[in-house]
A and B are shown apart, each in its own frame.
Chain A
C-alpha cells in the first residue's frame, strides 16, 4: 500500500511486472536452485585439478565387482518398475464432426412460422420461444433433422433412427477416411447419446454397419446429459489402460427427432429452441506407432458429480407435464448450480494443471482466510497460465457468459464456444469437438498448446478433459468449418429481432 495514490496506469504496470517476476521465480525454482549448485561444482572441479579426479576413478575401480553389479541391477530394476507402472499414454489420432447439409437449416423466421402453425402451441408459448431464440446466440445456419421440418414434426422411431444413421455414419465415414483406420482394427467402441436409446443400441448399429469384430468391447451410454462426451473419453482412457495396443472409437451425439416438446410448459421449451443436429467421432489409441501422427495426448480427465445435492439432481429433469407430454424441465437456478459444480471441478483440476506460482498464491490466500481469518476475497487462480485454449460446452449464451465471468477469461478465449453456438447451435456432447475444430481452422493450435474442455450435463455433472497438442495443425483444415470459417468471428448481438 503506497502512501500517496499512484496514477492507475503506472500502478497496474508495476503490478503486472511484479506478478510476472513472481511467476518466473516460483515456476522455475528448481532451475534457480540448480544453477548455483552446478556453478559451485564446476568451480570446485576446476580448482581440484585432474589428479584428484583420476584418484577418485581409481578408487571406484578397486571396489568389488559384486557391489558394482548390484548397484547397476538395482538402478535397472527401479527404472523398469517406474516405467512399467506409468499409465499408458492415450493419443487422439484424429476426430471428425458431422457436417450438416444447409438444406436442413432453420432460419429464425421459419422456426417462428412453424411454431405458429403447429396447433399445439398457443400464443403465449410462441412468444416465449421467440424471446428465447432472439437471445440465444444462435445464427441462421443451425440445422434441425428432416423430421423437424414437417408441420407438425413427425417424431417417429423410424425418423429418429434415420437421423442417428445420418449423423453418426457420416461422422465415422469421414474419420475412417481421414485416418485410414480399418474397421476391423477397432477394439473399443463407446457411443453416448442421452435422449435416444433404442434396442439394439446405437453401438450395435455401428457394429452392424461397419462389420466390426465380434470381440469388440462396445458400450452405449445414455441418459448422461451433455457432458457424456467427456465421460465416454474417461471410460475409453480407463479401457486403454487395461488393454494395450488398442484403438478406441468414441462417438458423441444427440438425437433431436424424438424430443420435440409439443406442450405449453415454458421451462420445457428451451431445448426446442437451442438443441441442434450434430455428432462427433473420435479415434483414441495407446499404440506407440500412432504417436507420430496423433494430434493430441490426453493428460487429465476430472469428473465432478453434484447429484448428492437434491437441487442439483433436479435442475435438469425429464418429466411429463400436466398434459402428459414428456419434456426436459430446466430449473431457474441452473446457472448457480453450474457455477457451483464448476468450482468443485476446478478445485480438483487446479493442483493437476496450475503452475506452482498460482498454487502457492491460492494456498496463501486459503491459509490467510481460514487460519488468520483475513477478510480477503477467495483467490481465483489464473487458468490462462495453465491453458492456451478453452472449449466450453456451448450450452447457451448464459452458460458461456457465466463461465467467462467465473474464470475471468477474455473474449478471445471463449470465441470458439460462442462461434460454435452461433454456427451449429447447442449440439450437446459433440459441441466441444466443433469448438476444437474452430480453433484448429483458425490456425491457432500450435505444438505444445494445452486445451481445456469443460462439459456440463444433467445430474448435475461438470467434467473436464485436458489435452496437449502434439503437432502444429496447419490450415486450411478440412472439417465442418471449411465453408464458413472465413466469415467468422462474427459479432453476435445480444438480441436479434426475429419479427
Chain B
C-alpha cells in the first residue's frame, strides 16, 4: 500500500462461511485429470464478480439453492485435489468426492450505484473472497463463491477459483449455466470434461521459445505491491479510438491493447524502443477440431508480440492485429507439447512478471441472467498472483453501452497505477474510471 492519506475503511464485511453440496450425490470413485495447460496455470487464480440489481428471484437463499442444482453438472468443481498415485506420476488430479464448494456471505454498507461509482480497487477485491491452499489441499475448496448483499437489495456474486481448474472463459460459462439453472431454463453450454483435449499429437514438436524464456526468468525477490484500476470504454469511445488510428480492419482489442501498452511503457521508461508484450488468447475456437465453449479447463495460449514502440500507435496496433489473427494452430500445439514435457517440474508464473495482456473480449460475459431479462449491471474479472510489470485484461463491456464497448482492467505496480489513471492520452477518450486505488 502506498504511503498516503488515511485509507477509507472498507464497506464490505464478510460474516459467514459455509459449503454448498451438489443436489445429486457423485458416484464414488470418479476423478478428473488435468491437462498440461492446467498444470502450467497452477500459480494463478481467477476472480469474476457480477453485479445484479434487486429482483425478487435474486436472493441469497434462492441463489444458493440453484448453485447446488448446477453443481450436479460439475462434479469436478465439488472435488478435492489429491496426488495421482495411480500410474505413478504423482501429479495433482481431482478426486470427485462430493465435498462441495465454499460459499461466503457478505454485506456491503452502501447501495449498488454508489458502490460502482465510489468503490476502491481494494473494496472490489473483497467481493470475491479467496483463500490460498493451506497446509492440507484435501480440505481446501478450489472454488469459492461470495454473495454480497447491498443496502438496496442488489447483489454481487463473486466466483473465485484456482486457475488450475478453470480459465476465465470456463468461469464465465459456469456462471451462465448457473443463471440458466436458476431460471429453470435449458443449460445452453453444458460442461465438457475432456482432459485429453490437449494431449500431445502423434508427432509432437514441443517448442515454445517464448515460454522457455519465461521459465528461465527467476521470480523477483521483492515483488512490488500491485493495484488495479478499471476503465469502462463506451462504444463511442472505442469508435473514436479506431477513427484516430486511421487504419481499417482493426478490432477494438487492437486499439485498446496497443494504446495501453504504449502509455504504460511511456511511464516505465522515458525512451521507447522495441518491446515485447505477452498476449494470452483463448484458443477454444481456434483449433481445427474446435472445443465447445463449455470445455472445462484451461485453453489459453500465451505468446509474445514484439513491436517498436517508438514508431507510433498505429504501427503497434497493426502489429498486434497481425499477430493475434495470425496465430497458427501448430504454434498452439507446440506450446502445449512443450508444457507437457515439463509438466512434472514446478509451474512458473504465466501472467507476468513481464507486461501481459489477456485478450478476453471475444467471450460473452454479460449473459448470466439470474432474473429473466436482467443481465448483470457490471462484470469484473481479475487474475490473482500476476505480480511484476503488470497485467491488462480486456473484456467485453456492458451491452447497454454498445457492441464495441470494452472494460479494461489494468493491474500495475502501485505507483504506475496512480499515473496511468490520470493519463491524458487515455482520458481523452472519456472512459469511466471505476475501482481506482485508495489514494
Instruction: Give the B-binding residues of A (Cβ under 8 A).
Output: 101-103, 105-107, 109-110, 113-114, 116-117, 140-141, 149-151, 154
A110 contacts B18, CB within 8 Å? no
- Contact partners of B19 in chain A: CB under 8 A: 110, 113-114, 149, 151
**Interface residue? B64 (CB, 8 A):** yes
- Contact partners of B23 in chain A: CB under 8 A: 102-103, 105
Q: How far is the CB of A161 from chain B (nearest CB, A)?
A: 16
A140 contacts B25, CB within 8 Å? yes
A141 contacts B99, CB within 8 Å? no
* Contact residues, B85-129 vs A (CB, 8 A): 97-100
Q: Give B79's nearest chain A residue, CB to CB.
A: A109
Q: How far is the CA of A105 from the CA of B21 in the complex (A)?
A: 7
Q: How far is the CA of A101 from the CA of B16 in the complex (A)?
A: 21
B21 contacts A113, CB within 8 Å? no
A107 contacts B20, CB within 8 Å? no
Q: Give B23's nearest chain A residue, CB to CB.
A: A102
Additional A-B contact list (4), CB under 8 Å, known A102-B68, A110-B98: A107-B21, A107-B25, A110-B100, A149-B18
B100 contacts A151, CB within 8 Å? no
- Contact partners of A151 in chain B: CB under 8 A: 17-19
Other-chain residue from B16, B69, B99 in contact with A150 (beta carbon distance below 8 A): B16
- Contact partners of A109 in chain B: CB under 8 A: 80, 97-99
B64 contacts A102, CB within 8 Å? no
**Interface residue? B311 (CB, 8 A):** no
**Interface residue? B24 (CB, 8 A):** yes
**Interface residue? B213 (CB, 8 A):** no
Instruction: Give the A-binding residues of B (Cβ under 8 A).
Output: 16-21, 23-25, 64-65, 68-69, 80, 97-100, 136, 139
Other-chain residue from A141, A150, A154 in contact with B25 (beta carbon distance below 8 A): A141
Q: Give B102's nearest chain A residue, CB to CB.
A: A151
Q: How far is the CB of B379 from chain A (nearest CB, A)?
A: 26
B98 contacts A113, CB within 8 Å? no
Which of A116, A149, A151 has most chain B Cβ within 10 Å?
A149
A140 contacts B68, CB within 8 Å? no
Q: How far is the CB of A258 from chain B (nearest CB, A)?
A: 17
Q: How far is the CA of A140 from the CA of B22 in the complex (A)?
A: 11
- Enumerate 18 A-B pairs (CB-CB under 8 Å) in ascending A order: A102-B21, A102-B24, A103-B21, A103-B64, A103-B69, A107-B99, A109-B98, A110-B98, A110-B100, A114-B19, A116-B139, A140-B25, A140-B98, A141-B25, A149-B19, A151-B17, A151-B19, A154-B16
- Contact partners of B20 in chain A: CB under 8 A: 103, 149
Q: How far is the CB of A114 from chain B (nearest CB, A)?
A: 7
Q: How far is the CB of B184 from chain A (nearest CB, A)?
A: 15
B21 contacts A110, CB within 8 Å? yes
Specify the main secondary structure of chain B where it touches its partner: mixed
Q: How far is the CA of A113 from the CA of B99 in the complex (A)?
A: 8
- Contact partners of B97 in chain A: CB under 8 A: 107, 109
B18 contacts A150, CB within 8 Å? yes
Q: How far is the CA of A134 from the CA of B21 in the complex (A)?
A: 19
The 10 closest A-B pairs by CB, nearest first: A103-B68, A109-B99, A109-B97, A140-B25, A107-B98, A150-B18, A102-B23, A149-B18, A151-B17, A103-B65
Q: How far is the CA of A110 from the CA of B101 in the complex (A)?
A: 9
A117 contacts B139, CB within 8 Å? yes
Q: Give B136's nearest chain A residue, CB to CB.
A: A116
Other-chain residue from B21, B24, B64, B80 in contact with A106 (beta carbon distance below 8 A): B21
- Contact partners of B17 in chain A: CB under 8 A: 150-151
Q: Give B97's nearest chain A residue, CB to CB.
A: A109
- Contact partners of A149 in chain B: CB under 8 A: 18-20
Q: How far is the CA of A103 from the CA of B17 in the complex (A)?
A: 16
Q: How far is the CB of B208 from chain A (nearest CB, A)?
A: 38
Q: Give B95's nearest chain A residue, CB to CB.
A: A109
Which of B23, B24, B97, B136 has most chain A Cβ within 10 Å?
B97
A110 contacts B24, CB within 8 Å? no
Q: How far is the CB of B136 from chain A (nearest CB, A)?
A: 7
Q: How far is the CB of B338 from chain A (nearest CB, A)?
A: 36
Q: How far is the CB of A175 from chain B (nearest CB, A)?
A: 24
- Contact partners of A140 in chain B: CB under 8 A: 25, 98
Q: Give A498's nearest chain B residue, CB to CB.
A: B97
- Contact partners of B100 in chain A: CB under 8 A: 107, 110
Q: Give A101's nearest chain B residue, CB to CB.
A: B65
- Contact partners of B139 in chain A: CB under 8 A: 113, 116-117
- Contact partners of A107 in chain B: CB under 8 A: 21, 25, 97-100
Q: How far is the CB of B99 from chain A (nearest CB, A)?
A: 4
Q: How far is the CA of A149 from the CA of B19 in the complex (A)?
A: 6
- Contact partners of A117 in chain B: CB under 8 A: 139
- Contact partners of A154 in chain B: CB under 8 A: 16
Q: How far is the CB of B104 from chain A (nearest CB, A)?
A: 10
- Contact partners of A114 in chain B: CB under 8 A: 19
Q: Give A150's nearest chain B residue, CB to CB.
A: B18
Q: How far is the CB of A451 from chain B (nearest CB, A)?
A: 31
- Contact partners of B25 in chain A: CB under 8 A: 105, 107, 140-141
Q: How far is the CB of A298 from chain B (nearest CB, A)?
A: 37
Q: How far is the CB of B3 from chain A (nearest CB, A)?
A: 36
- Contact partners of A101 in chain B: CB under 8 A: 65
- Contact partners of B69 in chain A: CB under 8 A: 103
Which of B17, B21, B23, B64 has most chain A Cβ within 10 Å?
B21
Q: How far is the CB of B393 from chain A (nearest CB, A)?
A: 32
Q: How far is the CB of A474 from chain B (nearest CB, A)?
A: 28
Q: How far is the CB of B385 from chain A (nearest CB, A)?
A: 24
Q: How far is the CB of B146 from chain A (nearest CB, A)?
A: 14
Q: How far is the CA of A154 from the CA of B17 in the complex (A)?
A: 10
Q: How far is the CA of A178 from the CA of B100 in the complex (A)?
A: 35
- Contact partners of B18 in chain A: CB under 8 A: 149-151
Q: How far is the CA of A102 from the CA of B66 in the complex (A)?
A: 11
Q: How far is the CA of A101 from the CA of B21 in the complex (A)?
A: 12
- Contact partners of A105 in chain B: CB under 8 A: 21, 23, 25
Q: Give A497's nearest chain B residue, CB to CB.
A: B28
- Contact partners of B21 in chain A: CB under 8 A: 102-103, 105-107, 110
Q: How far is the CB of B334 from chain A (nearest CB, A)?
A: 40
Using known A-B contacts A150-B16, A151-B19, determine if residue A110 contacts B99 with beta carbons closer than 8 Å: yes
Q: How far is the CA of A154 from the CA of B105 in the complex (A)?
A: 13
Q: How far is the CB of A416 from chain B (nearest CB, A)?
A: 22
- Contact partners of A141 in chain B: CB under 8 A: 25
- Contact partners of B24 in chain A: CB under 8 A: 102
Q: How far is the CB of B411 from chain A (nearest CB, A)?
A: 31
Q: How far is the CA of A150 from the CA of B16 in the complex (A)?
A: 7
Q: How far is the CB of B131 from chain A (nearest CB, A)?
A: 11
Q: Give A139's nearest chain B residue, CB to CB.
A: B25
Q: Give B98's nearest chain A residue, CB to CB.
A: A107
Q: How far is the CB of B122 from chain A (nearest CB, A)?
A: 25
Q: How far is the CA of A326 from the CA of B146 in the complex (A)?
A: 33
Q: How far is the CA of A114 from the CA of B68 in the complex (A)?
A: 17
Q: How far is the CA of A107 from the CA of B25 in the complex (A)?
A: 8
Q: How far is the CB of A159 from chain B (nearest CB, A)?
A: 11
Q: How far is the CA of A481 from the CA of B111 in the complex (A)?
A: 44
Q: How far is the CB of B344 from chain A (nearest CB, A)?
A: 26
